[in-house]
Structure 1
């Protein structure tokens, strides 16, 4: 599997078509190792089969660009709109999310043919200057479609990890790579003065609607840990009986922990020679110096309380990250697992914040079905920042907000500690 190098990202002046070609090529590279049987796996309602991700990201370009703005465009199959719409109510009816794994038809070759059909139509329409949209609006929609597909690239591999984890053979999706062994280092804390800061996207370049408007936030002086919480630190948390100490947990988190029987991060187990975990590179010993991953917000919050600290707010994280260079372990590295020895704010694991996913002051979703992209999810979810080893680097910017429900663990979710200064 050869992934594209995120550090060769086109300049902002590069065409939307160039971004489209690179994004679609990245997706093809991600599914290249998979068998037809792999392509249909769905292990839970939160996850989707790889085949569905391929088709849904294709439907997005068809539904929002080709159908409304390319005269004469004819869909590959009108029925695909029902099968591959995710949650866009205004775009029409949708197949039940939990039953996507039952869609044995269309076949994998049919889905790949569908992707080629849409790609060829987009290229041809651009070559003929045939779209009814003005160039600025067309480029904006193509760019949105590409970033949407990048989100699904991350979901594709993490959904696949969850599905593979049910196989007693614990298959490796990616070829195992030797990782350097680092000692667990103390976390150097950085102090931030706080004050009146601005957060949110307000400049040029792509951003999702939920990243704006840019607005002012008051921050008291604070500190951030120089690296995410490590596996060694998490083992100390476990060995101190913290999964059984109710006073460390939010009430709802404790109820979920009891119901689900949590006593380790997702995919961990104990053997005679120590702790092991399942990764996209197969079963591996837990790397004590690497960031802990696959922990819920509830677990992260309990750990922070046990450690005598707290989780950062998203404004604190963004204010600290804005002046830094985006550099870390992202999808393009091919590691697909957190690595030790990489301090900084970016990559490896998404970092839980204490901030609810809510609209910024003045937020207004766009009109039409596109406006359903983020706004309808602004309740009962928590914000994470920084990207992960499964996130395309091209997605990242200081204002980027991802969000998950506090009980979810199957994504590359970790944490960084904060403290009042």
Structure 2
């Protein structure tokens, strides 16, 4: 919902919107877990990921903690499992050894929690507490579930076996040639938000920041362009890699994006159980920050800063205003961006002209998370809410910021101010990138 709309909404409309968002998230959780049998739900498909059944029960546990117990003031349903499903208590690699709920128990638990959460939503005043103002707690829980749905989707990508997920192909690129890069003018703009109703603590507060003029790739870097880096020997040339990146690449024997394999007739990849030739026009996905950084150096460019990314995505030079999304303030539609697991791959570069920013940058929302060069930190005036562990404990040089969402990100869990972060070595996530360069004298 837009900030203006939220001020005008009555309590009943707020409740209806929150209920719809929660229902949509649960339908996706059910689809991701119903797609496989109990053995696959319990199995750990990678040490990097939890068993799918852990994610499902964790979703219910967080919903119980925040909506049933805190907002609703109800008695705990399952206090005995709080520790098991506390993400900070147990590393992902260790979770299969825990006394997890069985698939049947997990499904029963999340259903019971949801029934009580809906009862709370019907009865609780939407105001008087920051947690309930504009139904924030319900939006927070919705975003949490959708984030775990994307994590479960990444687990499906790591799963061995026949394909179990299916979706239509994304739209093709629209006719016409896009410029390779776009000039984004220098100057100040408003970054972050103080008014977005469901914005999380690390997106706040709104603040003015200035950036110099720069050139930004019109679209994310494609698989075809990235294959050029590979075929030129880029993975074997230390010149393009940072010391940390080179150590990571050589120490782990990395020779291509994750899930890629070179065959006699070119590059192939595995995608949700399907082995297929790479699609040259699609944004490259499953690359680490270090790989993105090396490609940028090889291309004579660099990764954008987080502020540069957000200015390209939100700033309208005509009005001088920062918008919620590149195309304006309205919620994402199917014409704007590749979101919500509607498709199971990035769309070709140039497939969403209706989603372009005022300066002509395309596909900033959806398709692939985009690595930036910025370490995760709090904005000036940052205040942790509703708990420090949501983002503050991750501040520092260990984590790099990603922006924009992927084809696996739901619209409820993305906006122009939304910040994601991960270790620079991560490759199982749906991450790609675009590059930038400084503008010359007199340019912008």
- TM-score of Structure 1 vs Structure 2, range by shorter chain: 0.7 to 0.9
**Structure 1 pair 80/275, CA: closer, same or farther in 2 (3 Å)?**
same
Q: Could you say which residue in structure 2 is the equivalent of 1:124?
A: 119
State the alpha-carbon separation in 2 of the partners of residues 406 and 80 from structure 1: 32
2:338 to 307, 323, 329: 329
Contact residue 69 and residue 131 of structure 1 kept, 8 A: no
**Structure 1 pair 71/206, CA: closer, same or farther in 2 (3 Å)?**
closer
Aligned CA-pair RMSD = 2.5
Matched, 1:420 2:411: no
1:361 counterpart SS class: coil
Q: Could you say which residue in structure 1 is the equivalent of 2:236?
A: 244
Matched, 1:111 2:120: no
Moved over 6 A (4+): 130-133, 179-186
State the alpha-carbon separation in 1 of the partners of residues 70 and 188 from structure 2: 44
State which drifts further: 182-191 or 405-414: 182-191
TM-score by length of 1: 0.87
Q: Could you say which residue in structure 2 is the equivalent of 1:217?
A: 209
Residue correspondence of structure 1 range 190-205 to structure 2 within 5 A: 190-205=182-197
State the alpha-carbon separation in 2 of the partners of residues 108 and 27 from structure 1: 13
Residue correspondence of structure 1 range 62-141 to structure 2 within 5 A: 62-75=64-77, 77-87=78-88, 94-103=89-98, 105-127=100-122, 129=123, 134=128, 137-138=131-132, 139-141=135-137
2:26 counterpart SS class: helix
List runs of 5+ in structure 2 lacking aligned partners: 315-322, 352-361, 440-444
Number of residue pairs matched?
Answer: 396
**Structure 1 pair 253/118, CA: closer, same or farther in 2 (3 Å)?**
same
**Structure 1 pair 187/235, CA: closer, same or farther in 2 (3 Å)?**
farther
Q: Give the Å deviation of 1:175.
A: 2.5
Q: Give the Å deviation of 1:178.
A: 5.3
Q: Could you say which residue in structure 2 is the equivalent of 1:4?
A: none
Contact residue 194 and residue 206 of structure 2 kept, 8 A: yes
Q: Could you say which residue in structure 1 is the equivalent of 2:317?
A: none
State the alpha-carbon separation in 2 of the partners of residues 257 and 99 from structure 1: 26
2:308 to 297, 316, 323: 316
**Structure 1 pair 389/311, CA: closer, same or farther in 2 (3 Å)?**
same
1:338 to 342, 346, 361: 346
**Structure 1 pair 232/241, CA: closer, same or farther in 2 (3 Å)?**
same
Q: Give the Å deviation of 1:356.
A: 0.9
Contact residue 21 and residue 412 of structure 2 kept, 8 A: no
1:48 to 39, 46, 50: 50
Contact residue 170 and residue 345 of structure 2 kept, 8 A: no
State the alpha-carbon separation in 2 of the partners of residues 184 and 278 from structure 1: 30
State the alpha-carbon separation in 1 of the partners of residues 111 and 127 from structure 2: 22
Q: Give the Å deviation of 1:188.
A: 2.9
Q: Could you say which residue in structure 2 is the equivalent of 1:407?
A: 425
Q: Could you say which residue in structure 2 is the equivalent of 1:3?
A: none
> Cα deviation per residue 1:303-346 (whole Å; 9 max; x = unaligned)?
0010011111111111111142252111242x221121424322
Q: Give the Å deviation of 1:197.
A: 1.7
Contact residue 23 and residue 149 of structure 1 kept, 8 A: yes
Q: Give the Å deviation of 1:277.
A: 0.6
1:37 counterpart SS class: helix
State the alpha-carbon separation in 1 of the partners of residues 308 and 126 from structure 2: 43
2:197 counterpart SS class: coil
State the alpha-carbon separation in 1 of the partners of residues 76 and 172 from structure 2: 55
Matched, 1:172 2:163: yes
Contact residue 54 and residue 100 of structure 2 kept, 8 A: no
> Cα deviation per residue 1:111-135 (whole Å; 9 max; x = unaligned)?
00000111111223344x3689857
Contact residue 400 and residue 421 of structure 2 kept, 8 A: yes
Contact residue 151 and residue 391 of structure 1 kept, 8 A: yes
State the alpha-carbon separation in 2 of the partners of residues 85 and 133 from structure 1: 28
> Cα deviation per residue 1:232-257 (whole Å; 9 max; x = unaligned)?
11111011111011111100110000
1:79 counterpart SS class: helix
State the alpha-carbon separation in 1 of the partners of residues 253 and 367 from structure 2: 26
State the alpha-carbon separation in 1 of the partners of residues 142 and 344 from structure 2: 21
Q: Could you say which residue in structure 2 is the equivalent of 1:353?
A: 372
Contact residue 177 and residue 281 of structure 1 kept, 8 A: no
Q: Give the Å deviation of 1:198.
A: 1.7
State the alpha-carbon separation in 2 of the partners of residues 114 and 145 from structure 1: 16
